[in-house]
Amino acid sequence: MSSTAAVHQDDHHHEPVRGWRRWVFSTNHKDIGTLYLLFSLAMFFVGGAMAMVIRAELFQPGLQVVEPDFFNQMTTMHALVMIFGAVMPAFVGLANWLIPMMVGAPDMALPRMNNWSFWILPFAFAMLLSTLLMDSGGPAGGWTLYPPLSLQGGNSFAFVIFAIHLMGFSSIMGAINIIVTIFNLRAPGMNLLRMPLFVWTWLITAFLLVMVMPVLAGAVTMLLTDRYFGTSFFNAAGGGDPVMFQHIFWFFGHPEVYIMILPAFGIVSEILPTFCRKPLFGYVSMVYATASIAFLSFIVWAHHMFTVGMPLGGELFFMYATMVIAVPTGVKVFNWVATMWKGSMTFETPMLFAIGFVILFTIGGFSGLMLAIVPADFQYHDTYFVVAHFHYVLVTGAVYSIMAAAYYWLPKWTGNMYSEKLGKLHFWLSTITVNILFFPQHFLGLAGMPRRIPDYSVEFAEFNLWSSIGGFAFGLTQLIFLYIVLKASFGKRTQELPDRVWEGAKGLEWTVPTPAPHHTFEQPPELRDEDLAHGDVAH
Amino acid sequence: MDNVLKDLRRLMQVNGQAHGLSARWRKAGLTACLGLLAAGTAQAEYGLNMPRGVTPFSSNVYDLHMTILWICVAIGVLVFGAMFYSMFKHRKSVGHEPAQFSHSTKAEVIWTIIPIVILVVMAVPATKVLIQMEQTGDTDMTVKITGYQWKWKYDYIEDDISFLSNLDPASNAARQLGSGIDPASVPNYLLEVDNAVVLPTNTKIRFLITAEDVLHAWWVPELGWKRDAIPGKVNEGWTYIEEPGVYRGQCAELCGKDHGFMPIVIDARSPEDYAAWVAEQKGEQLAEAQQVEREWTHAELFKRGQGVYEQQCAACHQLNGEGLAPAFPALAGSPVATGPVDEHLKVVLNGRPGTAMQAFGRTLSETDIAAAMTYTRSAWGNADKTPVQPREVVAAKRG
């Protein structure tokens, strides 16, 4: 703040303040992005530790490690922590870092609200996790919180509901910020159809968030009043209907599933062209496919509840609507394959994770299509087949895309190139172990093992053993990732990296110095077609 | 294995030498696939796939499942095949120059239309089977199934038989944390009950499925479907079992701590054997009814009550009567179990709404209730040695 004060607003420092104030009071999109990503990383390990407890108990038949009630707390918390604490904040962190740089904006549109959206999260999760230490234990009715079971717990329930409300506030504010940034702060010439696909997918995701998080808030508030204020929304004895909760919950829940996968589609659509050295195939159809998937996500919710006893017409409608989702999703996968076709590929770690994503996510998509077929779903529903399905789309889908993104942009963020050797080791160990972990679960479900059980018949022993071994190995493998991220973030700078870290990388974020300075695009950039990820969509 | 790893390492190298790589890689991949297939067949007896089942539509469901699985496999082979071909042929290390095309309307239309056609092909049989599964009319008999935490109750509507079905005692002992009992030594571990549902074969049976406390789901894979049991709602389903046999299943909707411990066992018998079983049940019912009127001694009730307690109450209140704080209160020294009999009876008969304490007046016989109460009032240091007589329970039920 010297002679430049005259030309700059005084809250635009060139260098960040030092110490804890930088992080607690930050309004800088890059710092807040970093906070989100580190928070997500921490939650990934907390949720992962819970998964280890689950797999340890399921290692062999009989109960060896925990009581059934604690097991249920672990399955419930694992899901809540991974969904709301690991996957969603990771995508918001990526959005914070990347969207302003990708559209040529100096920062997010609402920087103070941005600070608030993040700083709610540590409190929300401290409260959620603290329930594990309370007398009545943590929530044990599954992350879906189906009444009447969820209402049977102790008073820790009120803390869980409040924590979910807080997470909802955080998500809604984050989403509003993203929408406003994209609509108002694009550099001149950055038309909507010239935006990188990551920005597009996030724009659509943000609309989903704004539309469905209030629905979740409504559903859990009704649970709260049923539990403490004598209402009977979901209490059959008082004239309510437990099934109504499921309808409301999944009206939130299905779009929520796409909230966790659409940004992943965006990431993969950035990374594949870079390492194929070839433009993304079918940019416009990718945008339309994403929007179609988002629209369809509002009319398929009841496929999560085919067994509640719906009328035949309802079952048919939700089956057909769900099957239709395969069409735009297929378009995306085919477009990625066409992007790779006749490219000039190299296989750095981000590319490996992106290809891993396309293959393994597609396998999750196939089991999703199978689950859409109602008569077959009557067998699959609530079994390990479903567990395998959603872990393929969430772990080898969403989480793989986050890891691909971390490797891809880590040099830009930190100025350090990670070790390719370690990154590849991380990829191959993860990919081998994650398949040992989740593939046998398809067989377990088909053979008759229900989900959310702490103990099982001896006929399921062999595949559970494999699954647990894969789980422990996958968990340990992630320590490599932790090491790589921490080393790049805090290690000494060993080499000067060019602005365009990857040979084939396109997009405005690669036109700023590496590591990205605290402030970028204080003056709107001049757009040149060759810098843009999709500079040639004139047709 | 070493060769495979070596090849993996080669594949990972950004600028690796590519001579002979693809041939060797193909060979390694083939070996891996054959290995998986061999492992698959060797494991068949462990249950890899959905059972074909024993009803007319369970095999339709199985066929539908397999059809869609193979369609997915075929699509997967094509898509992943194209990807892998591209990854080997179109890599920088083999000197492939990138093409610069970015769209093709023709291709995009084709790969939008073809999936739609495939989906229609899938939807036709799926719709047919679904319509068949929902035909719950024209049934020969009805069984009402009620889910409780954590057991099932079966009411045979026409034959006026009803009973509870719990996890069998051997499994229950072995499944306790640190029991020291090897689950493999227990026959049908966790898939055995004390009272199986006996059903006639070659009879169209309608099920009415509901629950009294929380959600449950009634599922026997061999019948080809599951259905949620929901408080305040009665769901329908039907079956027509074609082969006599014992078919096992489990609760499939999370219902609390013992969700994993409420199995379902169907004992399907020929219609003649089923009729004989019904007659036998009637005889037992009559004998049980006569027992209600007589005077029981404390020792008799205590002995019977211990069995009832262990089967019906111990899951929550625990074998030692200490309960599980905070959700499940202790009975040893509790004000209810050591207080006035009529208050105690009210709780047992009507339950405590909003908690896991059920209204046992609707599920247990008067004699069992009297016995369990006598047991809890005089076990673990509780000092009331006056027996609770079954006819007191009858009187309390009448109000």
**pLDDT for residue B168:** 92
Closest by Cα among B16, B6, B10, B25 to B95: B16
- Find chain A residues with C-beta within 8 A of B129's C-beta: 375
What's the per-residue H, E or C state across B9-46? HHHHCCCCCCCCHHHHHHHHHHHHHHHHHHHHHHCHHH
Whether B29 is in a domain gets the answer yes
What's the per-residue H, E or C state across A340-391? HCCCCECCCHHHHHHHHHHHHHHHHHHHHHHHHCHHHHHHHCCEHHHHHHHH
The verdict on whether omega for the bond into residue A515 sits within 30 degrees of 0, i.e. cis, is yes
Q: What is the CATH number of the domain that holds B86?
A: 1.10.287.90
Question: E strand or H helix at B243, and its extent?
Answer: none
CB atoms near residue B239 (< 10 Å): 27
How many CA atoms are closer than 13 Å to the CA of B32, on its beta-carbon side?
14
Q: Reduced to 3 states, what is the DSSP secondary structure of residue B268?
A: strand
Closest by Cα among A288, A290, A268, A292 to A280: A268
Q: Which residue is listed with tokens 């490219």?
A: A343
Provide the residue range defining the domain that includes B310. Answer: 292-398
Q: Which residue is listed with tokens 């479900």?
A: A445
Joined together, the tokens standing for residue A476 give 């340990």
Joined together, the tokens standing for residue B292 give 């209600």
**Among the partner residues A66, A280, A345, nearest to B87 by beta-carbon distance:** A345
Cβ atoms of A207 and A178 within 8 Å: the answer is no
Residues B232 and B273 in one domain: yes
**pLDDT for residue B57:** 87
Q: Which is higher by pLDDT, A158 or A528?
A: A158
CA atoms A99, A103, A107, A111: torsion sign: negative
Exposure b/e, A301-333, CB count within 10 A at least 16 = b: bbbbbbbbbbeeeebbbbbbbbbbbbbbbbbbb
d(CA B264, CA B247): 8
Asked whether the beta carbons of residue B96 and residue A341 sit closer than 8 angstroms, the reply is: no
Out of B258, B288, B318, a domain closes at B288
Joined together, the tokens standing for residue B198 give 């006996």
State ipTM: 0.91
Residues B282 and B297 in one domain: no
Asked whether the beta carbons of residue B90 and residue A344 sit closer than 8 angstroms, the reply is: yes
**Residues near A34 by beta carbon (within 8 Å), at least 6 away in sequence:** A93, A97, A413
Residue of B nearest to A383 (CA): B252
d(CA B31, CA B25): 10
Residue of A nearest to B8 (CA): A428
Number of domains in chain B: 4
Residues B156 and B271 in one domain: yes
Q: Is residue A301 very low, low, confident or very high in pLDDT (cuts 50, 70, 90)?
A: very high
Whether B331 is in a domain gets the answer yes
Residues B338 and B312 in one domain: yes
Q: Is residue A538 very low, low, confident or very high in pLDDT (cuts 50, 70, 90)?
A: very low
> Residue A282: is its pLDDT beyond 50?
yes
Cβ atoms of B108 and A282 within 8 Å: the answer is yes
**pLDDT for residue A438:** 97
Whether B67 is in a domain gets the answer yes
- Find chain B residues with C-beta within 8 A of A374's C-beta: 126, 130
Asked whether the beta carbons of residue B230 and residue A309 sit closer than 8 angstroms, the reply is: yes
Q: Reduced to 3 states, what is the DSSP secondary structure of residue B334?
A: coil
CA atoms A223, A227, A228, A229: torsion sign: positive
Ramachandran region of residue A323, left (φ > 0), alpha (ψ -120 to 50) or beta? alpha
Joined together, the tokens standing for residue A434 give 């994650």
Tens of pLDDT, residue by residue over B155-201, are 999 999 999 999 999 999 999 998 889 999 999 999 999 999 999 99
Residues B151 and B278 in one domain: yes
From residue B243, alpha-carbon distances to A417, A531, B7, B220 in Å are 66, 70, 52, 15
Whether B50 is in a domain gets the answer no
Listed in sequence order, the DSSP H helices in A277-325 are 283-296, 312-324
Q: What is the CATH number of the domain that holds B183?
A: 2.60.40.420
Closest by Cα among B302, B223, B210 to B57: B223
Whether B51 is in a domain gets the answer no
Residue at A513: amino acid letter: P
Asked whether the beta carbons of residue A375 and residue B61 sit closer than 8 angstroms, the reply is: yes
d(CA A274, CA A348): 11
Residues B154 and B253 in one domain: yes
Q: Reduced to 3 states, what is the DSSP secondary structure of residue A175?
A: helix
Residues B331 and B270 in one domain: no
- Find chain A residues with C-beta within 8 A of B87's C-beta: 340, 345, 347, 355
Residue of A nearest to B249 (CA): A448
Residues B112 and B244 in one domain: no
CA angle A104, A94, A38 (to 5 degrees): 135
> How does DSSP assign A495-519, residue by residue?
SPPPSS-STT--SGGGGS-SSPPSS
Asked whether the beta carbons of residue B231 and residue A236 sit closer than 8 angstroms, the reply is: yes
- Find chain A residues with C-beta within 8 A of B180's C-beta: none
CB atoms near residue A10 (< 10 Å): 8
**pLDDT for residue A535:** 54
Whether B224 is in a domain gets the answer yes
Listed in sequence order, the DSSP H helices in A461-507 are 461-490
Asked whether the beta carbons of residue A342 and residue B182 sit closer than 8 angstroms, the reply is: no
Q: Which residue is listed with tokens 């499940």?
A: B328
Out of B99, B133, B167, a domain closes at B133
**pLDDT for residue A536:** 55
- Pairs across A and B, CB distance < 8 A: 325
Closest by Cα among A240, A241, A204, A197 to A103: A197
Residue at B14: amino acid letter: V
What's the whole-number average pLDDT of chain A?
93
d(CA A275, CA A346): 6
**pLDDT for residue B1:** 43
Cβ atoms of B255 and B273 within 8 Å: the answer is no
Q: What torsion, rounded to 10 degrees, do the Cα atoms A352, A353, A355, A360 define?
A: 130
Tell me which residues of A are annotated as active site.
Answer: 78, 107, 143, 170-171, 254, 256, 258, 269, 303-304, 329, 332, 451
Tens of pLDDT, residue by residue over A455-473, are 999 999 999 999 999 999 9
Residue from B226, B235, B247, B362 whose CB has the most chain A CBs within 10 Å, to mutate: B226
Whether B297 is in a domain gets the answer yes
Q: Which residue is listed with tokens 């998986």?
A: B36
What's the per-residue H, E or C state across B347-366? HHHHCCCCCCCCCHHHCCCH
Quote the distance between the C-alpha of residue B354 and its chain's center.
24
Question: E strand or H helix at A54, and its extent?
Answer: helix A29-57
> How does DSSP assign B203-221, residue by residue?
S-EEEEEEESSS-EEEEEG
Residues B274 and B156 in one domain: yes
Whether B13 is in a domain gets the answer yes
Exposure b/e, B18-47, CB count within 10 A at least 16 = b: eeebbeebeebeeeeeeeeeeeeeeeeeeb
Residues B264 and B341 in one domain: no
* Beta-sheet strands, E only, within B193-326: 197-200, 205-211, 216-220, 225-229, 235-239, 245-251, 263-269
Residues B22 and B121 in one domain: no
Closest by Cα among B371, B223, B368, B218 to B297: B371
- Find chain A residues with C-beta within 8 A of B15's C-beta: 346
**pLDDT for residue B12:** 42
d(CA B247, CA A299): 37
CA angle A81, A410, A125 (to 5 degrees): 20
Cβ atoms of A53 and A74 within 8 Å: the answer is yes
Residues B272 and B152 in one domain: yes
- Find chain B residues with C-beta within 8 A of A305's C-beta: 228
Closest by Cα among B106, B14, B86, B11 to A342: B86
Question: E strand or H helix at B152, and its extent?
Answer: strand B151-156
pLDDT over 90 for what percent of chain A? Answer: 90
Where chain B has pLDDT below 50, the residues are 1-2, 4-45
Asked whether the beta carbons of residue B215 and residue A149 sit closer than 8 angstroms, the reply is: yes
Q: Which residue is listed with tokens 């990625």?
A: A336
Tens of pLDDT, residue by residue over A192-248, are 999 999 999 999 999 999 999 999 999 999 999 999 999 999 999 899 999 999 999
Average pLDDT over residues A493-506: 91
Asked whether the beta carbons of residue A337 and residue B14 sit closer than 8 angstroms, the reply is: no
Out of B94, B109, B133, a domain closes at B133
pLDDT over 70 for what percent of chain A? Answer: 96
3-state helix, strand, coil split of chain A in percent (to 5) is 70, 0, 30
d(CA A515, CA A488): 11
